[in-house]
Structures are given as structure tokens and as C-alpha cells.
Amino acid sequence: MIANKTIKGSVLRERERKGLSAVQWCEVTVELSYRSMTNDKPRLSITGAEGYVLSPAQAKRDAQRYWESFFIDNPSELHDLNDRCGTSFRSSKSAAKYVREVDGELHGLDVHKIDDKRVYVTTSVGQIREMIVQFFPEIEPYLQWHLNDMRAGCAHQEACKAARSGVYQVGDTCVECKYSYGSAWNYQELPSNVLLWAQAFGKHGRDLVAAVEDPEIKSTLMVTCDALEEHNHKKTTAVLKLLAPATLVSLGLNDDGILGPRTLAVLAGEAFAGSQFDQVSLRAVAGKAQKAITRKLLERRRVSEH
């Protein structure tokens, strides 16, 4: 397999907030990197960017105000500008206008993108967990796997941390394996459902989010759960509801556009190792739901392409 393979996808959402004149936006980026020659240790990264949306006129005014404030707060910069550029500006307003004429009318703003006469201004980027959860609540269960190749503890210590039964400081020794906490960056394997979700999001992020928000697809998922209950798969049904929208990913897509219904059986089997249930019936019901969801996604694509 090819080393350094990366699967990456981003989705942006907007919302209006009471008391704020500008619309807020947040974009989440999910990246799955395979850095070994055998591609057996995928690294998951979940990051975000946030900001507000302005009209072009508002953005130009904000950029002008930024540079005017800059020269007012730093008078020496106005003198340096005149010396460096051979100008003779006396006011912060004229100096600000000159900077924008030379470097771009929106220079001074961290512009994420300009789309359909709207300017997306960035205010923060990176591991903005709180904002990601606010805009993408369905992603919260996966945030714990962010940078799974940088665990300070051994498997025992990380398990205690996950269960909130242990707090460790650098140098603390594991009673099980004698590992010294913080002495290395350790790799933590991604569960199969997390890996499937990251792969699907990276390849089909926008379609996936559309599916999660689509009432018809949500209804299809509930019908699937009801059908499973008829087959006495009560534990499996509980898993499906807890994993939604991860379940939608499993039902949804892969490289060819369809991920087989076998995935549901695998997820349920791993969630309840040793439990007995009829996988044939499970796959049959999952197959019907998968076809309905895939058909809906394909219809959505055709509409967007036209």
C-alpha cells in the first residue's frame, strides 16, 4: 500500500445568534492519515475554524477600521511607512487607505473564503472543541480520538482516564506494566466504527452531513431500528440509536458510493461480542435501509449538479 495516504474532508455550517449582527460560521475538518508503509496505524485529526460572515461592503469597512486603529495605536508605524514607501501621510485614515490599495482591500482581516458575495472572516482555528460541538453535536463522540497517535499513557492508564477513574502526572508509574506516564507518545488503535466514520466523512463529508440532517433519512434509520426490534435485536437497536449518525455512515458510502449492509452486523457484533443474534436477518434489514439512503444521497447529488 502507498505510504502517507491521507483522507480529508471539511464541512461548514452557519447560524444566527441573538444579539449578534453577523452570522457565525464554523468549519470542521476530519483528516485520517496513514503514515506507515503498511498503512496499519491511521492517525485521526479533528480540527475546526470559526468566525463570522460579512457583506463585501462591511468587510471593507472593517479592514479600513483595523488599519486606522493600527496607525493610531502605533504612531511610529506611520512614520516608518512614509520612510519606507516615500509617502507623506499625516492621518491614520489616509495611511490605512494606502495599505489596502497596495496589499488588498481586505488586508488586515483573516479571510477564510469569499463565496456568493459573502466574506467569511476567521476568528480562531485549531482544536476549538466547544465550537465544534455547538455546530456539529454529532461529532462530539469522536473528539476523544483526536490525535490518537499522541497518547501520554500506556493502554492501562488511558483506559483509566477514559473511565474517569484515574488522573496522572508525568512520571507516574503504571501498576500493571510499570510504564512511566509521559515518557513517550503512544499509539492508540481506532475502533472500527470510528475508522469507518472518519473514512466516510473524509470522502463524503458534505453528503454525510446532509444525510444526518435529512428528516427522510432519519426516518429510514428509525424504521430500520423498528424492523430490528421485530427480529428481537433489542441490544443492536440500542447501539444503532447511540451510534447515529455513525450508523448512517455505515449504511452510507465508500469509494464506490455504497457500503455493504455487512458493516452493521460487524458494528453490532463488536459492540456486543459474544451476543447471539441472527446476522442474516440483520443484514437483510440493513440492506433495505442502505439502498434507501444511498438512493436519497444520489438524488441529492443530481439536484446539486444541475
Transcribe 196-242 into DSSP letters: HHHHHHHHHHHHHHHHHH-HHHHHHHHHHHHHHHHTT-HHHHHHHHH
At 229, which amino acid appears?
E
Contacts of residue 153, Cβ cutoff 8 Å, sequence gap at least 6: 161, 168, 174, 179, 181, 182, 186
Of the candidate ranges 62-66, 121-125, 264-268, the one whose mean pLDDT is the lowest: 264-268
Residue with cell 455504497: 258
Cβ-contact 188, 262 below 8 angstroms: no
- Whether 91 has a pLDDT exceeding 90, the answer reads yes
- pLDDT over 90 (residue 123): yes
Distance of CA 93 to the CA centre of its chain: 40
- Those residues with Cβ within 8 angstroms of residue 110's Cβ, 6 or more apart along the chain or in another chain: 51, 121, 122, 123
Please give the pLDDT value at position 40.
Answer: 72
Q: What is the pLDDT of residue 139?
A: 86
- Residues 78-88, mean pLDDT to the nearest whole number: 94
C-alpha cell at 65: 477600521
pLDDT value at position 192? 72
The pLDDT of residue 20: 65
pLDDT, average across residues 17-21: 67
Q: Quote the Cα angle for 137-141-147, to 5°.
A: 115
Residue 34's pLDDT is 83
| pLDDT reported for residue 39 | 56
Average pLDDT over residues 183-195: 85
List pLDDT tens digits, range 213-269.
556 555 555 555 555 555 555 555 544 544 444 444 444 333 333 333 444 444 444
- pLDDT for residue 129 is more than 50: yes
CB-based contacts of 89: which residues, under 8 Å, 6+ apart? 78, 81, 82, 95, 98
38 pLDDT above the threshold of 60: no
Average pLDDT in the 197-216 region? 62
Q: Which residue has the higher pLDDT, 163 or 131?
A: 131
Three-state DSSP class for 170? coil
Domain boundary assignment for the chain:
5-55+122-149, 56-116, 152-186, 192-305
Overall average pLDDT of the 150-179 stretch: 87
> Which contacts (CB < 8 Å, 24+ apart) does range 289-294 have?
289/220, 289/221, 289/223, 289/224, 289/251, 289/261, 290/251, 290/252, 290/258, 290/259, 290/260, 290/261, 292/217, 292/220, 293/211, 293/217, 293/220, 293/248, 293/251, 293/252, 294/252, 294/253, 294/257, 294/258
Q: How far is CA 16 from CA 19, 52, 231, 245, in A?
A: 9, 10, 44, 24
User: Is residue 181 pLDDT above 60, yes or no?
Assistant: yes
Task: Answer for the pair 294, 253: CB distance below 8 angstroms, yes or no.
Answer: yes
Question: Can you give the pTM of this predicted structure?
Answer: 0.67
CA distance 153 to 139: 24
**pLDDT over 70 percentage in the chain:** 61
> Taking 70 as the threshold, does the pLDDT of residue 104 lie above it?
yes
- Per the prediction, the chain carries an average pLDDT of 75
Lowest-pLDDT choice from 14-28, 63-77, 165-179: 14-28
Per-residue confidence (pLDDT) for residue 78, from 0 to 100? 94
Identity (one letter) of the amino acid at 134?
Answer: Q
- In this prediction, residue 256 carries a pLDDT of 36
**Who has greater pLDDT, 278 or 36?**
36
